[in-house]
Amino acid sequence: MVDLGELPPAATDEVQAPYAQIVYTLTALEGIDAVRFTLDGDPVAVPQGDGSLTEIPVGRASYPE
């Protein structure tokens, strides 16, 4: 789980790159396959590689290269 704190939740696919980078960085660590983004503990929708928004945990498959 990643708490976005001061980062704004994603509203469009224009901001998917920072989320993809966070996912790729964290899933490079052993034992982490997916990341859930939250804001103040509540799930937030983040853009996937196809432009759709999701509140479920995302992994590398959500952001194909």
Span 35-46, pLDDT tens digits: 998 888 888 888
What confidence tier does 51 reach under pLDDT thresholds 50, 70, 90?
Answer: confident
pTM of the model: 0.78
Query: What DSSP character marks residue 54?
Result: E
Percent of the chain with pLDDT over 90: 42
Q: How far apart are CA 21 and CA 37, in angstroms?
A: 13
| Average pLDDT for 10-15 | 56
Contact between 16 and 47 under an 8 Å Cβ cutoff? The reply is yes
Q: 3-state DSSP call for residue 50?
A: coil
Taking 60 as the threshold, does the pLDDT of residue 9 lie above it? no
